[in-house]
Chains A and B, each alone.
Chain A
Amino acid sequence: MIRYFLYLMVMNMVVNVTAFVPRIIIDERFEGSVMAVIIGIPLTVLLLYFFTNAMLRFPGKGLPEILFQHTSKWFNRPSLILLSILFFFSGWILLLAFTDITRTFINPEMTRFTILTIFLLVVGFGVLLKTEKVLYALEILTLISLPFILVIFFKAYTSPYLNWDSIRVVFTHVNELPTLSSLGSVTFSLYGFYNISIYNRVFKGEIKKINIWWTMAIIILGYVNAFTSGFIPIGFNGTSGVEDFIYPWISTSDSLRMEYGFVERIIYITLLLFIGASLIMVITIWHVGLKLLLSLFAPSKETRLKTRILSRSIVTLLIIVTYITGTRIDARQLLELTKLYYIILIPISIFFTIIVSWIAWGKKHET
């Protein structure tokens, strides 16, 4: 079962390679993003270690159950609403980023409305799936897309046009203090483990503990991922040329050439894979948000019909909100909003990690 946990982690990392994380790292490449990568990843993995292991102490229980059981009403209700909004917002950013990517790179004549319709149709049905089924869908898409994505990364690393000197130029600025937004974006790429707040319900205690070896492996994975997302585009486009790109990784993948592949331009394979990956990630994230919100209304299972109607209306509301906001916001505003969101997430994630670890610690000492 630990593989499902890894899918959550890895897909979140991979999807963020193309969305806004590299952009923010690259924007601040001379102002401390190197340091942000170096310190950000171990710190996030520290959060991962405490949060996940605390959650795993409650086999078969999601975050709502834990909070309802161990905290008082005035705390758990607002915090669950806040968390679900944050999860919805993560998915929303991803969805809009990929709508913009599709419009820019696949067909500029298509309206945002049409692209959003296609995406939301898939996502809307996906979110309403059962929790286990979301994980199965995630597994299928991970197994399909991850090998190809790794091939693209491998092509990038082995390309003779990857200029390591450019990357080294950026690394000479290692001693700059990191800014909050770069730190936020680095940590965000590792936030896949927070999805366990709901998916722990179906893990049913089959994962006992994330031990120190897994933690080390995730740290290494995080470093490789952050390096790939932030610094490979610099190696391909130069230290000053890279800053003009709105989606650096998509543009970088156009710099790769497969002489004997069935498609010479890798960019189209990249788009296909990453759009698939991002859609499944939006489904996974929104599903968490939906279940967190639902837990407020129907803690018992007696009112199934009511739950169904409720969850459908929440998803409909979400879709409407996405339509309204998605057709109005532009790429620049979205980036600024994302930066702000990543910064806000840092204290919130630390706070909830402490709360959950504290509850778990209390439980351990009771028995």
Chain B
Amino acid sequence: MKHKVLFLFIGFFLILTGCNGYKDIDKRFFVVEMGLDHATQKDNKYAVTLKLAIASADTETMGSESYIVIKEGKTISEAVKKLKANVDKELDFGHTKVIIIGEEIAKEGLIDVMDWFDRRRDIQQISYIGIGKPNAQKIIDVKPKFERIPGNFLFLIFGNTGTESPSITLQYLFDLRRRLTENGLDPIIPVVEPSQESFAVDHASIFYNGKLALELSEEETVLYNALEREYPKVQLQIENEEEIFNISSKVLNAKYKIDTTNGSSPSIDFEIEIEGSIEETTEQIKEDNLPKYEKLARESVKERIEKLLTKFQEERVDPFGFGLRYRATNIGDEEEKWQKWLSLYPEVTFKVNVKVKLFGTGVIQ
């Protein structure tokens, strides 16, 4: 028995000392954000920007120290290889949680670009993707004053652990990959813009065939997120000629069905249930008037959703996955189904059915 234990120990020591690949934490640079742009030099294709967090043993002194490096290369890996020669420590991509893609690259197409990110085992599949406007480098350069850990602003924004806002769209790397490869489900990526030494992440862009096709407005982004993720905290502003009022609402249910029974004119039936309370008005609202406001809200929301869906249809983009749902509910060869759907989608009419339930006017009437 003793021999066995001794043998095991000797074995483990041999292995632990003998293998390379493990480096101490003070010999590593943690890449927290990564940006991808077009190269400025002619014979290169990509410019890779990395934000490196400087690790330190003491959290007090660590602060928000970070270091930004940029290199260009024909491929992403070439640029990263060149970067390795420019820093004194090992680059560690295990904490790369935000990947910003420059708008120019997004317009050209993402399918080739994403390969490097999917292939590397150390890049998290749950890292967040954003479109950098005007380019990625500008976004990486921004360093908000109140940021305590490098990159923390974007981590909190996307991670939904700090602020929660329906205008922030969330796109994970694995989800982007799925949406890029799947027929009938298009990627939607948040657009990150610098604003006043900080960022604004208030709208998103939709991709078609891997290329940036449609940039949504903030209001449309909120509406999309409310429907797609059944978001719990949505502000809806309802306007008519006389008054403006705001509803703080919760989307309880947003379901759709694709009805292709009557051949040539298929329809998509949306069922949406919203409940909420009034948050701000310009006119005084009496409690017994609530049904009237419910009606106003219902009509307004219905109109907006129909407009949004029609816009998607006109641009032929499909972030909700109608095409995928069509493929899921019909039997046949995948390629045939997909071609059929492509011809059906422009013909589709949307029937939106909204239910709004207001249960109060807040603290005051």
Binding site for B on A (CB under 8 A): 30, 104-105, 107-111, 114, 117-118, 121, 125, 160-161, 163, 165-166, 168-169, 171-172, 175, 236-241, 244, 251, 254-257, 259, 264-265, 267
Complex partner residue of A108 from B121, B174, B185, B329, CB under 8 angstroms: B121
When distances are taken between beta carbons in the complex, the residues of chain A under 8 Å from B330 are: 172
Alpha-carbon separation in the docked complex, A63 to B11 (Å): 36
When distances are taken between beta carbons in the complex, the residues of chain A under 8 Å from B183 are: 239-240
Alpha-carbon separation in the docked complex, A335 to B330 (Å): 33
Complex partner residue of B19 from A114, A165, A255, A264, CB under 8 angstroms: A114
When distances are taken between beta carbons in the complex, the residues of chain A under 8 Å from B8 are: 121, 125
When distances are taken between beta carbons in the complex, the residues of chain A under 8 Å from B121 are: 104-105, 108
Q: If the complex has contacts A117-B15, A236-B178, are A163 and B126 also in contact, measured as CB distance less than 8 A? A: no
The 6 listed contacts between A and B (C-beta, < 8 Å) are: A107-B19, A109-B19, A109-B20, A161-B174, A172-B329, A237-B174
Do B181 and A238 touch across chains, with their CB atoms under 8 A apart?
yes
Do A254 and B15 touch across chains, with their CB atoms under 8 A apart?
no
Q: How far is the CB of A49 from the nearest CB of chain B, in Å?
A: 34
Known contacts A117-B15, A241-B177, A259-B161; 4 further A-B pairs (Cβ under 8 A): A107-B19, A110-B21, A125-B8, A163-B321
Alpha-carbon separation in the docked complex, A240 to B335 (Å): 12
When distances are taken between beta carbons in the complex, the residues of chain A under 8 Å from B4 are: 125
Q: Does B147 sit at the interface, judged by CB under 8 A?
A: no
Alpha-carbon separation in the docked complex, A163 to B172 (Å): 14
When distances are taken between beta carbons in the complex, the residues of chain B under 8 Å from A121 are: 8, 11
Alpha-carbon separation in the docked complex, A172 to B331 (Å): 5
Complex partner residue of A114 from B18, B178, B321, CB under 8 angstroms: B18
Q: If the complex has contacts A166-B182, A238-B179, A238-B185, are A172 and B124 also in contact, measured as CB distance less than 8 A? A: no
Q: How far is the CB of A34 from the nearest CB of chain B, in Å?
A: 12
Complex partner residue of A241 from B11, B124, B182, B328, CB under 8 angstroms: B182
Alpha-carbon separation in the docked complex, A214 to B196 (Å): 66
When distances are taken between beta carbons in the complex, the residues of chain A under 8 Å from B160 are: 259
Interface centre among A236, A255, A257 (most CB of B within 10 A): A255
When distances are taken between beta carbons in the complex, the residues of chain B under 8 Å from A110 are: 19, 21
Q: Does B159 sit at the interface, judged by CB under 8 A?
A: yes
When distances are taken between beta carbons in the complex, the residues of chain A under 8 Å from B125 are: 251, 254-255, 267
Q: How far is the CB of A18 from the nearest CB of chain B, in Å?
A: 15
> Which residue of chain A lies nearest to B11 when distances are taken between CB atoms in the complex?
A121
Do B174 and A236 touch across chains, with their CB atoms under 8 A apart?
yes
Q: How far is the CB of A238 from the nearest CB of chain B, in Å?
A: 4
Do B334 and A237 touch across chains, with their CB atoms under 8 A apart?
no
Number of interface residues of B (CB under 8 A): 39
Alpha-carbon separation in the docked complex, A354 to B26 (Å): 63
Q: Does B280 sit at the interface, judged by CB under 8 A?
A: no
Alpha-carbon separation in the docked complex, A166 to B326 (Å): 11
Q: Which 9 A-B pairs have the closest CB atoms?
A: A109-B21, A168-B328, A241-B181, A238-B178, A238-B182, A254-B125, A255-B174, A165-B328, A257-B126
Do A255 and B126 touch across chains, with their CB atoms under 8 A apart?
yes
Contact with A along B327-341 (1 / 0, CB 8 A): 111111010000000
Do B324 and A166 touch across chains, with their CB atoms under 8 A apart?
yes
Q: If the complex has contacts A169-B328, A172-B330, are A239 and B15 also in contact, measured as CB distance less than 8 A? A: no
> Which residue of chain B lies nearest to A265 when distances are taken between CB atoms in the complex?
B124
Do A30 and B178 touch across chains, with their CB atoms under 8 A apart?
no
Do A239 and B182 touch across chains, with their CB atoms under 8 A apart?
yes
Q: How far is the CB of B189 from the nearest CB of chain A, in Å?
A: 15
Interface centre among A111, A165, A172 (most CB of B within 10 A): A165
Q: Does B233 sit at the interface, judged by CB under 8 A?
A: no
Do A237 and B178 touch across chains, with their CB atoms under 8 A apart?
yes
Q: Does B325 sit at the interface, judged by CB under 8 A?
A: yes
When distances are taken between beta carbons in the complex, the residues of chain A under 8 Å from B172 are: 161, 255, 257
When distances are taken between beta carbons in the complex, the residues of chain B under 8 Å from A239 are: 182-183, 327, 334
Q: How far is the CB of A5 from the nearest CB of chain B, in Å?
A: 30
Do A30 and B334 touch across chains, with their CB atoms under 8 A apart?
yes
When distances are taken between beta carbons in the complex, the residues of chain B under 8 Å from A104 are: 121
Q: How far is the CB of B15 from the nearest CB of chain A, in Å?
A: 6
